[in-house]
Structure 1
Amino acid sequence: MAGKTSPDGLSQEERDAVKERAKELRAQAKAGKSREAGTKQVLEAIGKLEGTDKALAEGFYQVVSETAPDLVPKTFYGFPAFANNDGKVVMFLQPASKFKTRYATINFDEPSHLDDGDMWPIGFAVLAWTPAVQERVTDLVKKAVA
């Protein structure tokens, strides 16, 4: 769980994430929708991770890159993410270390097509990158971009 909150209601980790997002937005505005710039940012973000978070991010990056090649890599609050042609984030991985939680999450934003009736999951806790996790994430990515 995130650390102590400040008078503005945000933990240090959350304040850092907001600052990181502002920095990302400035960099993304300069780069436009450049796949190369986005790939560089995502690989740099993954390179800063350690242990399980790094393995999860590498697996996530590989699966999405191969399964949904039309999505553009970008960072989102410092997280490895992928966006559609409109620049809207479709999915991202939130490392456990970012907010000191016990598991990472793979999340799907509104542009994803995971709809299933009146209620469906959009976030998935992940403890390890296993063949079963890879298969499940591949299926989710395929559905999200269908």
Structure 2
Amino acid sequence: MSPKTDTKKTTKTIAGGFTADEKAAMKARAQELKAEARAGKDRAEGEKAILAAISAMKDPTDRSMGKRIHEIVTAAAPELMPKTWYGMPAYADADGKVICFFQAASKFGVRYATFGFQPDAKLDEGNMWAAAFALIKLTSAEEAKIIALVKKSVS
């Protein structure tokens, strides 16, 4: 095959390789970028978007965890701006960079929700550290860990 054919095949494979959920997440992200451009750094708009994203979660466990994570993050790091990121609750720094996020298990049909951090979170610890955590249930122990991590991420 010629290189031109290989390129077409690769492009076709990559373009056709996304699942419906992944395509929906990318579409949601494009809409979020447009909304961010219109709203600027409007805390009330971000709060409204997060609460809408949480209420739209399919699974009641995801909704309750999303709501509690939102309460925890906004209390632990009030300087972070609430927003959605790929349709999920996220929290950004003053430069608009996502620091932490919650991803519902039902979003991609996996067995656990995820609470994660992006590279701008200040969690560096030696040569290796965790950047995302699986969540099945939120107890006071998990809440305490999340509070400590969120506070560290913005320190």
TM-score (norm 1): 0.94
1:51-62 equivalences in 2 (<5 Å): 51-62=60-71
CA distance in 2, matches of 1:103, 1:65: 22
Match of 1:34 in 2: 42
CA distance in 1, matches of 2:37, 2:15: 31
Unaligned stretches of 5+ residues in structure 1 = none
CA distance in 2, matches of 1:139, 1:51: 26
Larger RCO (CA under 8 A, 6+ residues apart): 1
Cα contact 1:55–1:129 (8 A) shared by 2: no
Is 1:133–2:145 an aligned residue pair?
A: no
1:109–1:7 Cα change, 3 Å:
closer
1:25–1:7 Cα change, 3 Å:
closer
After superposition, what is the alpha-carbon deviation per residue over 1:52-73, rounded to whole angstroms, capped at 9, x for unaligned?
Answer: 1011111110011001000000
Is 1:101–2:110 an aligned residue pair?
A: yes
Residue among 19, 24, 45 paired with 1:11: 19
After superposition, what is the alpha-carbon deviation per residue over 1:24-70, rounded to whole angstroms, capped at 9, x for unaligned?
Answer: 11111100111111111001101112311011111110011001000
Q: RMSD across aligned C-alpha pairs, in angstroms? A: 1.3
Q: Which has the higher helix share?
A: 2
Give the SS at the match of 1:116: coil
After superposition, what is the alpha-carbon deviation per residue over 1:75-114, rounded to whole angstroms, capped at 9, x for unaligned?
Answer: 0000100000000000000100110000000010011011
Tell which structure's C-alpha radius of gyration is larger: 2
Cα contact 1:57–1:93 (8 A) shared by 2: yes
Q: CA deviation at 1:7?
A: 5.6
Match of 2:75 in 1: 66
State the one-letter code of the partner of 1:115: D
Match of 1:22 in 2: 30
> How many residues are aligned here?
142
TM-score (norm 2): 0.88
CA distance in 2, matches of 1:69, 1:7: 39
CA distance in 1, matches of 2:108, 2:125: 29
